[in-house]
Amino acid sequence: MAEKKSFLLRVDAHTLDQLKRWADDDLRSLNGQIEYLLKLKLKDAGRWKDPPVPEK
């Protein structure tokens, strides 16, 4: 699994509430939902590049 890095994200209360509801509907954690949406938008914009596969 890829290394996870943490960072602080400031979001207004209404947006956070809507994200929490959406995450619950999709049976994801809030963090998982935000990561999913970010990856989806990166792919939609053509900016996603798969991470390199580590050699064994």
5-45 confidence digits (pLDDT tens): 999 999 999 999 999 999 999 999 999 999 999 999 999 99
Residue count of the chain, please give it: 56
pLDDT tens digits, one per residue of 16-27: 999 999 999 999
Q: Please state, in angstroms and rounded to a whole number, the distance separating the CA atoms of residues 26 and 2.
A: 23
DSSP tag of 27 = T
The amino acid at 49: K
Task: Assess contact for 40 and 29: CB atoms under 8 A.
Answer: no
pTM: 0.82
Q: Please state, in angstroms and rounded to a whole number, the distance separating the CA atoms of residues 55 and 36.
A: 26
